[in-house]
């Protein structure tokens, strides 16, 4: 029965054989029949369309190669040949690219071009049979790849085994027969045949060695054995000398399917060289430590972060603990609690700046007593990085003790001297009031003068011992400062009959402080002025109130002081060399004055010219609690001490210091500079000190040792310093810059314009 089949092309002229057509159309294989002459598609089945990924319309009634343009270059000639020769063409699992449903796809197909001939044998049609194999091929390829990979892995394993930087062998069965060995393992036994032989036969010397026991243990228990730096006397070559060699061993049990130990896997690493290097290092370390232990001081080292990592035996003996315990506990426990805060602050500063650490503190020894030490540490720098800190603590307790004894002696002596002197003075005054012969009176007056001087000297000595012991007490109360100045001058007038003491200005001001102590300062300045200007007639004393400060100056026209000596004047017992012999004195007056001023938040400075005279200044702050105006933006800062202005066009920081400074104001200003430099990524500073008054010498060390290194780390490269007109301030600045050791380029100027010009000429980052 003829069934209507929609797949059947009506144009089909070839055959009436419905069976054939039906077979073709329902074949599980793709079939397409073409006219041999025109190669136009005449019959095509679903399967073919499915494999081809084309529509029926693309093939039926169309030139075959129009539908398969992408395959034409490869198979056109084959098809033509089939028509011409009548021989079929087979393509087995060929890979080709087809455009299926508009997309390029690589597939595997098996296809046949088969001729269909008429009775005369002429090729009239060509049938194309096609079967897709993509999935099968892919699966097969996967298997092949896996096989290749596992072969590769095996190869790699073998390579690893043969080239491993360790000797490896497998000992099989209870007899421990060498089943497998790699070349490095063989090298351990040059010239010996190992493979296939039981261990005892190949290496008989093992028999009595502890190793044999170990191997038996692994066999019996299945537990892995690891031995390190085991020494084995072995020759390196066949007949070479036996030498001590070191090995790390691993013996690992090999288990069979039943989980029983049936062999041992051996790994051997030769570590002779490492052990030898270690020994050498240890030896040099021992020598190094021996050396450190011969030192009478405490010696220690710390990591770059400050953590202690070594102490010598002196430290252990002093503290009564083992080194490890001391390192674990850290120094802090042994430092006197009163000394600890400053000590930690200094250490933190040193760590931050990478500069020398130096401090005196008391350390608690095993006897429970504290002993004074001078600690000093320096960073050990390699390739620009701190690798370690090396420190010593020198016991200075005896020195401190002596100093203390000396101070105590001075204190007792001056006390003892004071008592009889007071009596002498009293008797002297009584005698003056008595009716005595006129010829005696001048002698009485002279002795009164000497008594006064002696009194002054003893008072100075007492003060110094009190300062040293921290026992000076101050009675702070409000008083009329102008009155004090007047009174002081008045009482000094008759001690300096040859000089005129002229008070040029003295504004009214109430000051809150210790009146007696400040009188001492004024007296000291004036008596010095008198003493060191023996040929002069006048001493000018002046007082001004400026910028919340009282500033008193005492000017003489005497011998003056050379610049080099200026900064040292306020030190204890310091006396300028050439004056020491000519003028009497202990060198204590200015030291005491400095201390008194410091306690009042004041400062002092000197302008002097040798031969022309000196002006001694001191400053006392008034209204200390008053708050002051502050302006602050990201590039600008201003308060009453400092103005910082970041100039973006020149990438420079302009800093203008104003007025009087002390350690605190200098430190504060410096930290602000650091902050603005870093935040604005600047590398240069014009530091203008032209408006600085007085001095800031007490911050010198901090600026040089701590602040400059911080600035360097923050990127400072160029530093132009414009001098203050104050000699003292100039000296301070120079000293700080001298202390600083680094790569910052500095220049001094007296003119701000030149400073700016210089800094702008330095090349930008
Ligand atoms: P002294 O008792 O020696 O005067 P001071 O501490 O008062 O001790 O002064 C210390 C040193 O400072 C003096 O020895 C002197 O060299 C120097 N000095 C102090 N005042 C003057 C001055 N007005 N002119 C020159 N030199 C001075």
Give the tens place of pLDDT for each residue, 407-430. 888 888 888 888 889 999 999 999
- Examine the pLDDT at 25 and tell me if it is beyond 70: yes
Contact 531, 572 (CB under 8 A): no
> Among all chains, which residue has been given the structure tokens 């600045």?
733
Q: What's the average model confidence in pLDDT over 244-260?
A: 87
Where residue 5 falls among pLDDT bands split at 50, 70, 90?
very low
Bigger pLDDT: 737 or 536? 536
Question: Residue with structure tokens 């040798």?
Answer: 610
Residues near 452 by Cβ (< 8 Å), separated by ≥ 6?
495
- Residue 532: CB within 6 Å of ligand 1? yes
Question: For residue 627, is pLDDT > 80?
Answer: no
Average pLDDT over residues 107-129: 92
The architecture in CATH of the region 166-276 reads 2-Layer Sandwich (3.30)
Kindly calculate the radius of gyration of the chain based on its CA atoms and give it in whole angstroms. Answer: 52
Specify whether the backbone of 578 is left (phi greater than 0), alpha (psi in -120 to 50) or beta: alpha
Q: Is 188 in the pocket of ligand 1 (CB under 6 A)?
A: no
Q: Is 596 exposed, middle or buried (0-12, 13-18, 19+ CB in 10 A)?
A: buried
Q: Is the CB of 391 within 6 Å of ligand 1?
A: no
The answer as to CATH 1.20.120 being correct for domain 400-469 is: no
Model pLDDT, residue 6: 44
Q: Is the pLDDT of residue 336 over 60?
A: yes
The whole-number pLDDT of residue 1 equals 39
Question: At residue 295, does pLDDT exceed 90?
Answer: no
d(Cα 315, Cα 117) in Å, to the nearest integer?
Answer: 113
* 165-204 pLDDT per residue, tens: 788 999 998 899 998 898 888 888 888 888 899 998 888 8
Please list, in sequence order, all residues whose beta carbon lies within 8 angstroms of the beta carbon of residue 126, skipping any fewer than 6 positions away: 33, 34, 36, 39, 79, 82, 83, 113, 114, 115, 116
- Residue nearest atom 11 of ligand 1, based on CA coordinates: 575
Nearest atom in ligand 1 to the alpha carbon of residue 524 is 7
Query: For 639, phi and psi rounded to 5 degrees?
Result: -135, -170
The whole-number pLDDT of residue 640 equals: 86
Write down the pLDDT at residue 563. Answer: 82
Question: 558 near 529, Cβ under 8 Å?
Answer: yes
- Confidence at residue 4, expressed as pLDDT on a 0 to 100 scale: 43
Residue span(s) of the chain under CATH 1.10.287 come to: 400-469
pLDDT band at 612 (very low <50, low <70, confident <90, very high): very high
Question: What pLDDT sits at residue 50?
Answer: 92
Instruction: Give the model confidence (pLDDT) of 360-370 as tens digits.
Output: 999 999 999 99
Q: Please give the CATH number for the structural domain made up of 477-621.
A: 3.30.565.10
Which of 391, 333, 328 minimizes the C-alpha distance to 363? 333
User: Residue 11: what pLDDT?
Assistant: 40
- Tell me the DSSP string of 137-202: HHHHHHHHHHHHHHHHHHHHHHHHHHH-SSEEEEEETTTTEEEEE-HHHHHHSTT---TTSBHHHH
Q: Which atom of ligand 1 is nearest to the CA of 556?
A: 23
Ligand 1 mean position to 730 CA, how many Å?
21
451 CA distance to ligand 1 centroid (A)?
A: 21
For a mutational test of ligand 1's pocket, the pick from 587, 609, 611, 613, i.e. the residue with the most ligand atoms closer than 8 A to its C-beta, is 587
pLDDT at 681: 93
CATH topology of domain 8-146: Beta-Lactamase (3.30.450)
- Look at residue 80 and tell me whether its pLDDT is greater than 90: yes
Inform me whether the pLDDT recorded for 552 exceeds 70.
yes
Tokens 């003060």 correspond to what residue?
Answer: 463
List the residue whose alpha carbon is closest to atom 3 of ligand 1. 587
Angle between helices 441-468 and 589-599 in degrees, nearest 10: 50
Query: Would you say residue 3 has pLDDT above 60?
Result: no
Which CATH superfamily includes the segment(s) 631-761?
STAS domain (3.30.750.24)
In the chain, which residues fall in CATH 3.30.450.20?
8-146, 166-276, 295-395
Which tens digits make up the pLDDT trace of 580-590? 566 777 778 88
Reported as a pLDDT band with limits 50, 70 and 90, residue 76 is very high
Per the CATH hierarchy, to which homologous superfamily does domain 295-395 belong?
PAS domain (3.30.450.20)
- Nearest Cα residue to atom 18 of ligand 1: 528
Q: Hey, CA dihedral for 715, 718, 723, 729, is it positive or negative?
A: positive
Where in the sequence of the chain do the CATH 3.30.750.24 domains occur? 631-761
Report pLDDT for 572: 63
Task: For the chain, give every residue range classified as CATH 3.30.565.10.
Answer: 477-621
Query: In percent, how much of the chain has pLDDT > 90?
Result: 41
Distance CA 687, CA 674 (A): 12
Tell me what percent of the residues of the chain surpass a pLDDT of 70. Answer: 94
For residue 9, is pLDDT > 50?
no
Q: What residue owns the CA closest to ligand 1's atom 23? A: 529
Query: How much distance in Å is there from the Cα of 569 to the middle of ligand 1?
Result: 7
- Closest residue by Cα to atom 19, ligand 1, is 528
Per-residue pLDDT band for 7 (boundaries 50, 70, 90) equals very low
Output the pLDDT for position 580: 58
Is any ligand 1 atom within 6 A of the Cβ of residue 712?
Answer: no
Asked whether the predicted pLDDT for residue 121 surpasses 80, the reply is: yes
Three-class DSSP category at 403: helix
Distance 528 CA to ligand 1 centre (A): 6
Q: Using alpha carbons, select from 358, 383, 386, 353 the residue that is nearest to residue 373.
A: 358
Region 505-510 average pLDDT = 92
Distance 575 CA to ligand 1 centre (A): 6
Mean per-residue pLDDT of the chain: 86
Average pLDDT over residues 645-649: 93
pLDDT class for 636, splitting at 50, 70, 90?
A: very high
From the list 47, 75, 49, 77, the residue with the least C-alpha distance to 62 is: 49
- Cα(610) to ligand 1 centroid in Å equals 13
Query: CA-to-CA distance for 473 and 68, rounded, in angstroms?
Result: 113
Reported as a pLDDT band with limits 50, 70 and 90, residue 232 is: confident
């Amino acid at each position: 029965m003829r069934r209507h089949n929609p797949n059947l092309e009506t144009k089909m002229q070839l055959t009436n054989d419905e069976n054939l057509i039906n077979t073709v159309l329902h074949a599980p294989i793709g079939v397409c029949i073409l006219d041999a002459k025109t190669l136009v598609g005449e019959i095509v089945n679903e399967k073919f369309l499915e494999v081809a990924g084309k529509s029926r319309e693309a093939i039926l009634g169309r030139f075959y190669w129009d539908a398969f343009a992408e395959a034409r270059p490869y198979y056109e000639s084959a098809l033509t040949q089939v028509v011409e020769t009548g021989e079929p063409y087979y393509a087995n699992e060929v890979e080709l690219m087809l455009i299926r449903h508009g997309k390029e796809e690589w597939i595997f197909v098996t296809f046949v071009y088969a001729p269909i001939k008429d009775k005369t044998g002429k090729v009239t049609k060509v049938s194309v049979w096609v079967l897709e194999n993509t999935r099968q091929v892919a699966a097969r390829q996967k298997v092949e790849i896996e096989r290749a990979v596992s072969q590769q892995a095996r190869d790699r394993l073998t390579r690893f085994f043969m080239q491993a930087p360790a000797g490896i062998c497998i000992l099989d069965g209870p007899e421990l027969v060498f089943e497998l060995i790699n070349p490095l393992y063989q090298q351990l036994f040059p010239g010996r045949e190992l493979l296939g032989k039981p261990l005892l036969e190949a290496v008989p010397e093992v028999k009595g060695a502890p190793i044999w026991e170990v191997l038996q243990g692994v066999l019996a228990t299945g537990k892995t054995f690891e031995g390190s730096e085991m020494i084995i006397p072995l020759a390196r070559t066949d007949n070479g000398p036996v030498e001590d060699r070191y090995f790390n061993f691993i013996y690992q049990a090999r288990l069979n399917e039943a989980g029983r130990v049936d062999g041992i896997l051996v790994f051997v690493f030769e570590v002779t060289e490492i052990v030898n290097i270690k020994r050498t290092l240890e030896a040099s370390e021992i020598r190094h430590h021996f050396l450190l232990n011969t030192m009478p001081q405490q010696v220690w080292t710390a990591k770059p972060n400050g953590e202690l990592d070594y102490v010598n035996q002196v430290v252990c003996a002093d503290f009564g603990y083992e080194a490890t315990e001391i390192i674990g506990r850290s120094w802090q426990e042994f430092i006197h609690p009163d000394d600890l805060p400053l000590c930690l602050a200094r250490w933190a500063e040193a760590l931050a700046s990478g500069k020398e650490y130096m401090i005196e503190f008391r350390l608690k020894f095993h006897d429970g007593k504290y002993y004074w030490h001078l600690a000093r540490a320096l960073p050990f720098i390699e390739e620009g990085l701190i690798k370690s800190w090396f420190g010593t603590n020198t016991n200075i307790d005896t020195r401190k003790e002596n100093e203390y004894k000396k101070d105590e002696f001075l204190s007792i002596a001056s006390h003892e001297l004071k008592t009889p002197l007071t009596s002498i003075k009293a008797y002297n005054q009584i005698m003056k009031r008595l009716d005595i012969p006129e010829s005696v009176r001048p002698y009485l007056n002279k002795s009164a003068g000497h008594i006064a001087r002696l009194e002054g000297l003893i008072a100075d000595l007492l003060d110094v011992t009190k300062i040293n012991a921290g026992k000076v007490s101050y009675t702070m109360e409000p008083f009329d400062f102008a009155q004090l100045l007047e009174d002081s001058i008045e009482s000094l007038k008759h001690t300096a009959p040859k000089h005129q003491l002229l008070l040029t200005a003295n504004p009214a001001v109430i000051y809150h402080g210790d009146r007696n102590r400040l009188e001492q300062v004024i007296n000291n300045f004036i008596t010095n002025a008198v003493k060191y200007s023996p040929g002069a007639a006048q001493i000018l004393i002046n007082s001004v109130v400026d910028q919340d400060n009282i500033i008193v100056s005492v000017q003489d026209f005497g011998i003056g002081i050379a610049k080099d000596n200026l900064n040292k004047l306020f030190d204890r017992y310091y006396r300028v060399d050439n004056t020491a012999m000519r003028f009497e004195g202990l060198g204590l007056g200015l030291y005491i004055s400095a201390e008194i001023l410091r306690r009042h938040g004041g400062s002092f400075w000197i302008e002097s010219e040798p031969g022309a005279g000196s002006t001694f200044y001191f400053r006392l702050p008034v209204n200390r609690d008053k708050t002051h105006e502050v302006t602050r933006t990201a590039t600008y800062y201003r308060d009453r001490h400092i103005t910082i202005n970041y100039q973006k066009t020149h990438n420079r920081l302009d800093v203008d210091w104003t007025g009087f400074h002390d350690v605190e104001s200098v430190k504060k200003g410096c930290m602000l500079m650091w902050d603005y430099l870093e935040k604005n990524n600047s590398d240069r500073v014009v530091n203008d000190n032209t408006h600085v008054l007085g001095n800031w010498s007490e911050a010198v060390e901090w600026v040089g040792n701590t602040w400059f290194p911080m600035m360097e780390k923050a990127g400072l490269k160029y530093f132009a310093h414009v001098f203050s007109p104050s000699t003292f301030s100039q000296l301070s600045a120079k000293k700080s810059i001298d202390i600083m050791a680094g790569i910052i380029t500095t220049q001094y100027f007296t003119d701000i314009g030149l400073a700016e010009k210089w800094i702008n000429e330095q090349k930008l980052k």
